[in-house]
């Protein structure tokens, strides 16, 4: 919302400076977004007098002028047709910046003759679009600053413009008067009366209006007056300047009047050219499919139920949103019908959104205008039209009746103090509300008709606090919980934090990737269906909620490879979405390793990453976040893993805590990843909650008896898994065997096709007596037997 | 005996290897060594002779032994010195590479915020990122026609043909967690709700996803003055400054009343932000007293309970605190950015150890 200082002062009697006004506005909740003072950019221009002008010897259209200025006589070459002797002009001397042409004037030679400046047109000074000639002033002294002359003779040209942001709850501040009222309530001046002297009616309008029964809930009242014999044309200069200052284009006087009251009083109006209306006006609901060419020259197709205004020719106006081209006013309009109506905000909001029209009228009606001002607004407009464009006005045509929005809420002064925490005396509270237009009866505050946002006691608190100024609010300590604060993170929350720190410690860089991803990538990882699709994605790359974290990480990896980083370790901890309903989300901890373990190095440690890197990291993270150490490694995870090179880390076949493995080569190809890529994905929610939190550890058993280690090598079928063998060996004597480690795997050689050798070290820890050879032999025999039974393997000779 | 002593001490002194030394030991003190043989003679002597010869021989044996040990140490040291002379390495060679990981600023700052509010008695609540429009809008006093709905650039989820429910939304703020938190726990309550939020907007300063932390404190007498204190303490602690100056500006949010935008006094010096001094004001968050309708929607009696809510952009305060210029880069996973702006894995922010190192 833009307005000028003089416009504000037409409503507010104040001596406050622009700075004071702006500070107060921002503090009141009408945040100042910009202040523009046009005299700033015109400060350097001064008045001059053309003493002599003659044709340029080498150019027919140029004149060589001698101009009196505050720096003496200057020779200026000028191409304007009106450059001639005896006129007072606006001079830009060398060094002056001319805003309209974005140029700083210098001393120049034009067709061989020196020129020491410029005489400016209105367009060059951004005062108007006028560029047919240079400015000729009817008065003024040589050397006088142009802005001083403007301030005296044409103040609207140097009026300060203020732009404020309006929150959706303050439609009243979409009119200059509403802004003035807030400032007056704050104590920055006095609201001036702006009553209207209605134009006397001289006839009964033959143009009438009706509202269909089924439309009254959206269009409760429609008022209008027919004015005959107006002379339309350009608006008076002051009005044009005012509209231009707030960024509107003057069109014609009749249209400009409607725009003026839109901004002056938040009272949108419409003017019909009465001669173009066939029959009478009827407010009704669209059947659906009707078309109208609106004032923006675009054709709109109406939907069933949208409110429109029609005549015998059809729809002539989209109610409360935009008028129609066919019955709009032009410079030739002689008979005008002025509309002042009230439209239901919700219905306008829906219609405006459906038709995608953003007009000043829609903006205001959907936020809510003052219904009680319908008649007065009409009278203001008619008065202005008749005073400036002549004509005779009809009696008021009325359909429906002004809706009753009267309501009152209890002002609980103590509650205000308790909620805000500021000591605002009750008398001040009442005074504030009165200044804002509330009527107080006992402790009931009757809401003014222009404040549709005030719908309860809490809104009264807001008004009082706002005017009292929240800037003055002093902080008061929030009582602390007694004692030492308790931990507040849930198990899942602390697991995520711990996981992040652990994975980063293992050398991975944490990423935060978007929760949405392209359909193709989502589909590769089990998502990409309609349930997780966005209706209005910002781009096709971001169309589906991610089914997991791997696709985003792989896309990130591909981007980094394109930047020249071949090797990397990336991870993310966040939510993935298994469905499109609220709650269909789960936390994942995902890491990827791509390329080599590091750059090639002098120690020769660099090698391609492999499954066991991913497995080690997955195990480290699981250990860090409290997963049980005893797990099963199963196969058969999702299709994006290499079918033979992955494992699910499970607590039973259905309890999958995570997966590690190589990614499927097709995935890497489709996602444009070069080099080996391994990954892990962990599901922290699947890890059982710690049962009962006992801080004490079990007692340490550290015997002095010597432990013994024995090695065994077994020849087994190549598809026998090491873990099966290890578990079998460990089961041979659970009391004695404390550890079984695989230390060698050998495939091929003289073992024969389909065979491999697995070598293990078994650690035996006696607890009551030193092991004797025969004890060790007995255990060894048992180990061999168990392993053979479980795997079919034989001890290697 | 003196001859023997002189001879062996001389030979030991001249020995130049461990093996030569061992030979000498055998020759002198071995089973058939000269000194051992003499000691065997002691048995044949008279007690008087033995009394003088015995201690003398023992002394000789000890002396030769000590000389042998001392020479052995000297020879070993010399050998070690010799070996070490050949064991020179270029220690300016690089060490074995070890990957250095990093924590994303979003995670770091979320932990910082959590540490501060945990100390003030707030716990952490979370909720769905795909939300029903009731939780995201209606329950927060934003009915269907409210202009705020259109202004929020909401992402909607797809609805299958024939599914006539209103589409779900990607939560536009973390405020729905307030409602869920109150529904689950009732009042009094103190929670913060950090997390991802979504708006359909992309330019220099907007990304379609960003992070917010919502705060909610409800009790019988929580006031806006408490809100101001709470935010002052938060800002001081978070930006690690001794004093801050906050300005509350009246504003409007459908879910709070009164509402205030909060500005912080600051200065910009060559693009570096200084909090707590200067003449500029920087808008950092929106806040207010929870609207009675919101409390009602969450099943809390607004005639008994009242309290405040606020919402801060995590990405935004991360940018301000750590001088990170571009929001879009947060989600681009550029390794150079992750390494430059990331945090070390053990830089865990705590109030006792400091938020930043």
ipTM of this complex: 0.89
Look at the domain A2-37+160-191 and name its fold: Phenylalanyl-tRNA Synthetase; Chain B, domain 1 (3.30.56)
More confident call, B57 vs A303: A303
End-to-end CA separation in angstroms for chain B: 76
Q: Which of A351, A470, A591 to mutate to test the interface with B (most CBs of B within 10 A)?
A: A470
Interstrand relation of B280-290 and B272-275 (parallel, antiparallel or unpaired): unpaired
Tell me if the domain spanning A708-795 has CATH number 3.20.20.60: no
- Looking at the complex, does the CB of residue B166 fall below 8 Å from at least one CB of chain A? no
Domain boundaries, chain A: 2-37+160-191, 40-158, 201-400, 408-469, 491-686, 708-795
Choose among A367, A490, A501: nearest Cβ to B345. Answer: A501
What is the domain class of A40-158 according to CATH? mainly beta
Name the B residues in 221-280 with CB < 8 Å from any A CB: 221-226, 228-232, 246-252, 254, 257-261
User: A437-466 burial string, b = 16+ CB within 10 Å, else e?
Assistant: bbeeeeeebebbbbbbbbebbbbbbbbbbb
pLDDT of amino acid A598: 87
A-chain residue closest to B232, CA distance: A475
User: Is B155 within 8 Å of A536 when comparing Cβ atoms?
Assistant: yes
B-chain residue closest to A453, CA distance: B254
Separation CA A404–CA A459 (nearest Å): 20
Global confidence as pTM: 0.85
Furthest-apart CA pair in chain A: how many Å? 132
**Identical fold, A408-469 and A708-795:** no
pLDDT of residue B2 exceeding 80, the answer is: no
Which residues, including other chains, have CB under 8 Å from residue A202's CB and lie 6 or more apart?
A: A392, A393, A394
- Name chain B contacts of A456, Cβ cutoff 8 Å: 292-293
Interstrand relation of A32-36 and A97-98 (parallel, antiparallel or unpaired): unpaired
Helices A611-624 and A491-505 pack at an angle, to 10 degrees, of: 140
- Name chain B contacts of A517, Cβ cutoff 8 Å: none
Name the B residues in 51-80 with CB < 8 Å from any A CB: none
Choose among A507, A510, A565: nearest Cβ to B342. Answer: A510
Helix, coil or strand: residue A735: coil
User: Is B225 within 8 Å of A475 when comparing Cβ atoms?
Assistant: yes
- Name chain A contacts of B120, Cβ cutoff 8 Å: 478, 480
Kindly state the average pLDDT of the residues B17-41.
87
pLDDT band at B32 (very low <50, low <70, confident <90, very high): confident
Separation CA B231–CA B260 (nearest Å): 12
> Could you tell me if A302 and A230 are in contact, meaning their C-beta atoms sit under 8 angstroms apart?
no
List C-alpha distances in Å: A96 to A119, A137, A593, A594, B346: 12, 20, 63, 62, 60
> Could you tell me if A651 and A681 are in contact, meaning their C-beta atoms sit under 8 angstroms apart?
no
- Looking at the complex, does the CB of residue B330 fall below 8 Å from at least one CB of chain A? yes
Residue A264's CB: how many other CB atoms inside 10 A?
20
User: Is A489 within 8 Å of B124 when comparing Cβ atoms?
Assistant: yes
> Could you tell me if A255 and A271 are in contact, meaning their C-beta atoms sit under 8 angstroms apart?
yes
Separation CA B119–CA B133 (nearest Å): 33
Burial of A662 (0-12, 13-18, 19+ CB in 10 A): buried
User: Is A602 within 8 Å of B93 when comparing Cβ atoms?
Assistant: yes
pLDDT of amino acid A104: 92
pLDDT of residue B40 exceeding 90, the answer is: no
Backbone region of residue A117 per phi and psi (left: phi > 0; alpha: psi in -120 to 50; beta: other values): left
pLDDT of amino acid A797: 72
Choose among B131, B258, B289: nearest Cβ to A582. Answer: B131
List C-alpha distances in Å: A467 to A184, B232, B244, B251, B285: 10, 23, 24, 12, 21
Separation CA A318–CA A338 (nearest Å): 15
The count of CB pairs under 8 A between chains A and B is 279
Domain boundaries, chain B: 2-86, 105-341
pLDDT of residue B151 exceeding 70, the answer is: no
Across the strands, what pairs with A620? none
- Token pair of A673 as six digits: 């990843």
User: Is B261 within 8 Å of A167 when comparing Cβ atoms?
Assistant: no
> Could you tell me if A89 and A69 are in contact, meaning their C-beta atoms sit under 8 angstroms apart?
no
Separation CA A361–CA A300 (nearest Å): 16
- Looking at the complex, does the CB of residue B338 fall below 8 Å from at least one CB of chain A? yes
**Sheet (strand A32-36) strand order:** A2-4, A161-164, A32-36
CA A551 vs. chain centroid, Å, equals 27
Look at the domain B105-341 and name its fold: BirA Bifunctional Protein; domain 2 (3.30.930)
Angle at A475 between CA A473 and CA A479, to 5 degrees: 140
Q: Is the dihedral of CA A618, A622, A627, A628 positive or negative?
A: positive
End-to-end CA separation in angstroms for chain A: 93
Determine the distance in angstroms separating the CA of B161 from the nearest CA of chain A, rounded to an integer: 11
What is the domain class of A201-400 according to CATH? alpha beta
Which residues, including other chains, have CB under 8 Å from residue A784's CB and lie 6 or more apart?
A: A712, A795
What would the pLDDT profile of B210-233 be if each residue is shown by its tens digit? 999 999 999 999 999 999 999 999
Smallest CA-to-CA distance from A235 within A385, A423, A14 is with A385
> Could you tell me if A172 and A451 are in contact, meaning their C-beta atoms sit under 8 angstroms apart?
yes
- Token pair of A715 as six digits: 């020849």
List C-alpha distances in Å: B284 to A548, B228, B278: 33, 13, 16
Separation CA A126–CA A38 (nearest Å): 9
What would the pLDDT profile of A270-290 be if each residue is shown by its tens digit? 999 999 999 999 999 999 999
Choose among A466, A504, A606: nearest Cβ to B345. Answer: A504
User: Is A478 within 8 Å of B226 when comparing Cβ atoms?
Assistant: yes
B-chain residue closest to A512, CA distance: B331
pLDDT of amino acid B183: 95
User: Is A507 within 8 Å of B99 when comparing Cβ atoms?
Assistant: yes
User: Is B247 within 8 Å of A538 when comparing Cβ atoms?
Assistant: no
Determine the distance in angstroms separating the CA of A38 from the nearest CA of chain B, rounded to an integer: 24
User: Is B345 within 8 Å of A505 when comparing Cβ atoms?
Assistant: yes
Q: Is the dihedral of CA B320, B324, B328, B330 positive or negative?
A: negative
With the CA atoms of B224, B229, B231 and B232 taken in that order, what torsion angle do they form, in degrees rounded to the nearest 10? 140
**DSSP assignment of A480-497:** PPSSSPPP---HHHHHHH
Q: Which of A415, A488, A497, A583 to mutate to test the interface with B (most CBs of B within 10 A)?
A: A488
Choose among A510, A538, A585: nearest Cβ to B128. Answer: A585
Q: Which of A486, A582, A589, A596 to mutate to test the interface with B (most CBs of B within 10 A)?
A: A582
User: A671-692 burial string, b = 16+ CB within 10 Å, else e?
Assistant: bebebbbbbbbbbbebbeeeee
Across the strands, what pairs with A114? A109
Please give the CATH number for the structural domain made up of A408-469: 3.30.56.10
pLDDT of amino acid B143: 84
- Token pair of A634 as six digits: 């199963």
User: B83-103 burial string, b = 16+ CB within 10 Å, else e?
Assistant: eeeeeeeeeeeeeebebebbb
B-chain residue closest to A464, CA distance: B258
What would the pLDDT profile of B242-252 be if each residue is shown by its tens digit? 988 889 999 99
Length of chain B, please?
357
Please give the CATH number for the structural domain made up of A491-686: 3.30.930.10
- Looking at the complex, does the CB of residue B217 fall below 8 Å from at least one CB of chain A? yes
User: Is A475 within 8 Å of B228 when comparing Cβ atoms?
Assistant: yes
Determine the distance in angstroms separating the CA of A528 from the nearest CA of chain B, rounded to an integer: 12
A-chain residue closest to B156, CA distance: A535
Q: Which residues of chain A have pLDDT under 50?
A: none
Separation CA A603–CA B97 (nearest Å): 9
Choose among B111, B157, B196: nearest Cβ to A533. Answer: B157
Choose among B217, B222, B338: nearest Cβ to A511. Answer: B338
């Amino acid at each position: 919302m833009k307005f000028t200082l003089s416009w504000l002062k037409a409503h507010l009697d104040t001596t406050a400076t622009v700075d004071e006004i702006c500070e107060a506005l921002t503090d009141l909740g009408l945040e100042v977004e910009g202040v523009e003072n046009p005299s700033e950019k015109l400060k350097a221009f001064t008045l001059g007098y053309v003493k002599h002008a003659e044709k340029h010897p080498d150019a027919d259209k140029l004149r060589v002028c001698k101009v009196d200025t505050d720096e003496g006589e200057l020779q200026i070459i000028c191409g304007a047709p009106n450059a001639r002797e005896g006129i007072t002009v606006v001079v830009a001397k060398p060094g002056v910046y001319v805003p309209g042409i974005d140029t700083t004037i210098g001393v120049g030679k034009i067709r061989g003759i020196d020129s020491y400046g410029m005489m400016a047109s209105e367009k060059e000074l951004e005062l108007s679009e006028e560029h047919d000639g240079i400015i000729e002033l009817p008065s003024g002294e040589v050397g006088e600053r142009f802005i001083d002359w403007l301030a005296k003779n044409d103040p609207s040209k140097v009026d300060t413009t203020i732009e404020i942001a309006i929150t959706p709850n303050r439609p009243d501040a979409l009119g200059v008067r509403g802004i003035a009222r807030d400032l007056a309530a704050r104590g920055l001046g006095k609201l001036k009366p702006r009553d209207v002297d209605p134009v006397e009616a001289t006839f009964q309008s033959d143009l009438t209006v009706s509202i269909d029964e089924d439309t009254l809930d959206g269009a409760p009242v429609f008022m209008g007056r027919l004015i005959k014999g107006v002379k339309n044309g350009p608006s008076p200069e002051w009005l044009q300047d005012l509209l231009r200052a707030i960024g509107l284009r003057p069109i014609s006087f009749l249209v400009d009047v409607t725009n003026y009251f839109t901004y002056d009083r938040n009272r949108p109006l419409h003017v019909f050219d009465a001669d173009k209306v066939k029959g009478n006006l009827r407010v009704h609901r669209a059947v659906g499919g009707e078309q109208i060419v609106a004032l923006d020259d675009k054709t709109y197709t109406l939907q069933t139920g949208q409110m429109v205004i029609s005549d015998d020719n059809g729809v002539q106006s989209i109610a409360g949103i935009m008028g129609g081209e066919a019955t709009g006013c032009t410079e030739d309009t002689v008979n005008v019908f002025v509309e002042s109506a009230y439209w239901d905000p919700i219905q306008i909001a829906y219609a405006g959104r459906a038709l995608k029209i953003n007009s000043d009228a829609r903006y205001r009606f959907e936020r809510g205008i003052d219904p009680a001002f319908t008649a007065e607004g009409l009278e203001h407009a008619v008065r202005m039209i008749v005073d400036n464009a002549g004509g005779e006005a009809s009696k008021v045509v009325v359909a429906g009746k002004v809706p009753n929005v009267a309501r009152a809420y209890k002002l609980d002064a103590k509650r205000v103090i308790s909620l805000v925490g500021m000591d605002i005396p009750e008398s001040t509270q009442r005074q504030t509300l009165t200044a804002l237009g509330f009527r107080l009866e006992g402790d009931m505050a009757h809401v003014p008709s222009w404040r549709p946002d005030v719908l309860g006691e809490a809104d009264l608190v807001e008004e009082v606090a706002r005017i009292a100024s929240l800037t003055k609010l002093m902080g008061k300590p929030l009582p602390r919980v007694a004692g030492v604060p308790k931990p507040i993170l849930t198990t899942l929350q602390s697991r995520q934090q711990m996981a992040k720190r652990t994975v980063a410690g293992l050398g991975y860089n944490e990423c935060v990737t978007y929760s949405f991803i392209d359909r193709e990538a989502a589909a590769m990882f089990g998502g990409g269906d309609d349930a997780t699709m966005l209706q209005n994605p910002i781009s096709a790359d971001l169309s589906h909620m991610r089914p997991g974290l791997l696709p985003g990480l792989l896309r990130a990896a591909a981007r980094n490879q394109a930047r020249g980083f071949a090797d990397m370790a990336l991870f993310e901890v966040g939510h993935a979405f298994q469905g499109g309903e609220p709650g269909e989300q789960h936390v994942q901890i995902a890491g990827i390793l791509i390329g080599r373990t590091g750059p090639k190095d002098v120690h020769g440690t660099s090698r391609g990453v492999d499954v066991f890197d991913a497995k080690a990291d997955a195990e480290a993270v699981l250990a860090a976040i409290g997963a049980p150490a005893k797990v099963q490694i199963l196969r058969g995870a999702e299709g994006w893993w290499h079918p033979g090179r992955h494992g699910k880390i499970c607590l039973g076949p259905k309890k999958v805590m995570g997966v590690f493995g190589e990614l499927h080569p097709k995935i890497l190809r489709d996602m444009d990843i070069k080099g080996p890529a391994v990954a892990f994905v962990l599901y922290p929610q699947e890890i059982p909650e710690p049962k009962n939190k006992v801080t004490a550890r079990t007692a340490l058993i550290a015997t002095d008896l010597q432990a013994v280690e024995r090695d065994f090598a077994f020849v087994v079928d190549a598809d026998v898994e090491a873990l099966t063998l290890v578990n079998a060996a460990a089961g041979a004597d659970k009391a004695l065997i404390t550890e079984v480690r695989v230390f060698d795997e050998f495939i091929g050689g003289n073992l024969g096709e389909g065979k491999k050798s697995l070598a293990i070290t078994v650690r035996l820890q006696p607890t009551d007596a030193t092991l004797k050879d025969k004890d060790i032999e007995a255990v060894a025999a048992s180990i061999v037997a168990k392993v053979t039974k479980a795997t079919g393997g034989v001890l290697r000779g | 005996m003196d001859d023997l002593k002189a001879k062996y001490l001389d030979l030991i002194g001249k020995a130049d290897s461990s093996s030569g030394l061992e030979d000498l030991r055998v020759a002198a003190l071995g089973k058939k060594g000269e000194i051992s043989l003499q000691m065997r003679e002691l048995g044949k002597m008279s007690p008087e002779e033995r009394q003088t010869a015995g201690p003398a021989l023992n002394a000789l044996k000890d002396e030769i032994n000590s000389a042998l040990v001392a020479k052995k140490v000297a020879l070993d040291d010399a050998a070690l010195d010799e070996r070490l002379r050949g064991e020179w390495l270029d220690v300016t060679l690089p060490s074995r590479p070890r990957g250095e990981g990093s924590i994303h600023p979003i995670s770091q700052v979320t932990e910082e915020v959590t540490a501060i509010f945990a100390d003030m008695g707030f716990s952490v609540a979370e909720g769905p990122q795909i939300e029903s429009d009731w939780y995201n809008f209606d329950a927060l006093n934003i009915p269907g026609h409210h202009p705020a709905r259109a202004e929020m650039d909401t992402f909607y989820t797809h609805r299958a043909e024939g599914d006539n429910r209103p589409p779900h939304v990607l939560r536009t703020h973390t405020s729905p967690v307030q409602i869920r938190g109150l529904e689950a726990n009732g009042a009094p309550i103190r929670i913060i709700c950090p997390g991802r939020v979504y708006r359909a907007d992309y330019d220099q300063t907007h990304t379609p996803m960003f992070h917010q932390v919502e705060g909610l404190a409800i009790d019988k007498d929580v006031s806006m003055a408490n809100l101001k204190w709470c935010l002052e303490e938060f800002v001081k602690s978070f930006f690690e400054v001794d004093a801050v100056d906050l300005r509350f500006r009246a504003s409007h949010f459908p879910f709070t009343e009164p509402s205030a935008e909060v500005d912080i006094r600051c200065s910009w010096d060559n693009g570096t932000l200084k909090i707590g001094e200067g003449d500029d004001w920087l808008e950092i968050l929106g806040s207010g007293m929870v609207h009675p309708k919101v409390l009602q929607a969450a099943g809390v009696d607004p005639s008994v309970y009242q309290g405040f809510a606020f919402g801060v952009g995590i990405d935004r305060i991360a940018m301000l605190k750590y001088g990170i210029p571009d929001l879009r880069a947060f989600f681009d996973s550029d390794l150079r950015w992750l390494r430059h702006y990331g945090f070390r894995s053990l830089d865990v922010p705590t109030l006792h150890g400091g938020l930043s190192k």
